[in-house]
Every structure is written in C-alpha cells, then in structure tokens.
Amino acid sequence: MNPAPPTSDFRAVRLPAPGRPLADERVAAAAPGTGEVLVRVKAAGICHSDAHYRAGVGSTRHPLTLGHEIAGVIEAVGNGVTTHRAGGRVCLHYLVTCGKCRDCRAGREQFCATGQMIGKDRDGGYAEFIRVPAQNAHLLPDAIPFEQGAILMCSSATALHALRKARVTTGDTVAVFGIGGLGISAIQLARALGASSVYAVDVNAAKLALAKRFGAIPIDARASDPVQAIREATGGRGVDAALELIGLPRTMEQAVEVLAPLGRAALAGLTRERISISPYRDILNREAEIIGVSDHLATEIPELMRFVLAGALDLSSVVSRTVPLEAVAINRVLDDLEAFRDDLRSVILP
C-alpha cells in the first residue's frame, strides 16, 4: 500500500535562487485541478541540464523544484481525467504545452510559445509529489523499472529524436560523439533503426568499453584524430549521420567533417560558442546538412517504450548511482556533473 497522500505539505529539494545550492524545503500540497494528475514520484533523474539551472542558466522562476526526468505512480486524478486512474505507473513528458497553437497542432510542440518545461519553468520532480496535466503522463509498462522510466524521458528520448532528425535508416553508418547517458541510448537506438555500423567517439576508456558492449565500434579520440580514424574505417567515405551529444565546438566540427556525401550532422550538445567549418569542403561539396536537435516529441515516448520492451534499448547499465531526496546528496551529484566527473546517470529515489 502507498503511504498516505499529501494533505498539508510534502518534501521537495528546491533551487531558492540562481547560483545557490539546492535546499530541502516543504511545499504546500494541492489536489489535482481539472485535467491534471497528481503523481507520487518514484524516481527522478539528475541531468547535466540541472547543473546549468542551479547555476541560474535557463531556469526561469525561483524558488523552483528542479527535475524533469520523472517516473512515478498516479496518486489522484482531477476532474475530467479519463485516461488515468490512481495507482497507474507513469512517466512524465517534460514539456507542458497548450495543444492548440499552430506548432502544437503540427506536432512540433517544442516550439509552443507558451510551453513550459517541467523542472525549469515550473516545479519538477525533485519532490515527493508533482502535479501535471494528464496528457503529460505516459503509461509506464510494469516491465520497465521506475529509474529507467525516468531517464527514458530525457536522454533516451532526445537520442531518439536526434536520430530521427538525422533521418537514420537501414544500412546507414552512424558516428556518435559523446558516450554518456544520451550516447549509450543513441548507439542502441541507431542499431534498432537499422544502422549498419555505429562508431562511438569518446576519451573515456570505460565509456568506450561500454559502447563496444552495445555493438558500437569504439573510437578513442585521445589515441587518434576521430575524423581520420572513422574515414579510414569507412574506406574514406565517412558516415551517413553523425550525432554530437557533448556540446563542445571541436566535436561539433568533427561531426560535420566526418560526413559522407549527403550526410547529416545532428547537434544536440549545448554550447554558446561558435564553430568553424569549411563550407565548400564540408557542406556544399557533399550536400551535407547540419541539423539542430531541441528536446523531443510526446509521440516519440511510446515508441521508446516499445524499443525497451523489445530488448533493443537496455538501460540497466546506465543508472549508475541512486541518491535519496536530500539536498546535500543531490548538490554533490550536480557538483560532479559540473566538473564532468559524472559516471552515467544518477537517479533520486524519494
């Protein structure tokens, strides 16, 4: 049986102000409104983006409960909700959008002008409970553990979206730059989408070994120039699609330089710095494309679940650490992420 639902207030770990450490707080409980569900959080992923939000980059209101990778159980449903019942296992799509504007209706809801991201623009999942529109709660099959359901909602979903944007299809060769949580999903999903070979570029031996275990060809960027190494491995041709998942100008340039004729570079890592490419050599001459990747779509979530259930996406080795819902522990994980001392993924188990 679940513990009692919140009647007065519940625990949350919140960002009091930009640049401050997260703090343990109590938040007033509220019943779900019309069209909303109240979810008891069972797992919340700690993402590299959360380190940026803590630093005050991107987060738009304070105090704010961080956390946009959330899985849990429906505690209560508001009026008009027919799609969910109390007790149902769910994971939450992190974009709350209007559903009515031109972009929402066209199925590109990341561009909804009034859209809000959970854990960035509105309270997130570093808490015992969260209230969200019912449409954001996707059923989580019993076979998928909560902590995997949580990380599916960000890194795996974005990896799938990046592969879709890069139009990866059967027989394509793919290079993945950066083998973190995103990269491990990207390797597996690229193979599930029919990629003939996947080159995994990183500088970390353990991550390269993990990439190899999932069927990728490891490319150690410390040992040789990855562009040259991949060109040699592909008979000089390069790859049909390259994903940049780190957010470094150099690896973005490499993702472009490594493309074959008609190749697509999908850039998902975040940086404000500029990159330098040779338009003739890298783009025009090859009719190559550079494509931006922003978030993912709600429609990609059920598709992801099917990949997990079919065994094509195995996240069991991705969750490397679990922490309690306590500010001290969570701040420590964020410090590690900021210093790139991250393993793969840490998940809060409230």
Closest residue by Cα to residue 266 from 284, 248, 291, 283:
291
Listed in sequence order, the residues at least 6 apart from 164 whose beta carbon sits closer than 8 Å to its beta carbon are 300
Instruction: Give the strand pairing for 217-220 and 197-202.
Output: parallel
The amino acid sitting at 313 is L
Max Cα-Cα span within the chain: 66
Task: State the minimum distance, in angstroms, from the CB of residue 69 to Zn ion.
Answer: 5
Give whichever of 49 and 346 is closer to Zn ion, judged by the CB atom.
49
Shortest Cβ 155–Zn ion spacing (Å): 6
Report how far residue 323's alpha carbon sits from residue 79's, in angstroms, rounded to the nearest whole number. Answer: 34
- Whichever of 176 and 258 has its CB closer to Zn ion, that residue is 176
Q: Which of 112, 239 has the CB closer to Zn ion? A: 112
In the complex with Zn ion, the residue whose CB is nearer, 92 or 104, is 104
Give the C-alpha separation, 112 to 258, whole Å.
34
User: What's the min distance (Å) between Cβ of 211 and Zn ion?
Assistant: 20
Q: Which residues bind Zn ion (CB under 5 A)?
A: 47, 49, 97-98, 101, 104, 112, 154
Q: How far is the CB of 106 from Zn ion (least distance, A)?
A: 10
Instruction: Pick the closer one to Zn ion by CB: 10 or 94.
Output: 94
Least distance (Å) from Zn ion to the CB of residue 232? 35
Q: Is the peptide bond before 18 cis (omega within 30 degrees of 0)?
A: no
Q: For Zn ion, give the closer residue by CB, 51 or 290.
A: 51
Q: Which is nearer to Zn ion, 124 or 238 (CB)?
A: 124
CB nearer Zn ion, residue 96 or residue 305: 96
Q: How many CA atoms lie within 13 A of 344 on its CB side?
A: 23
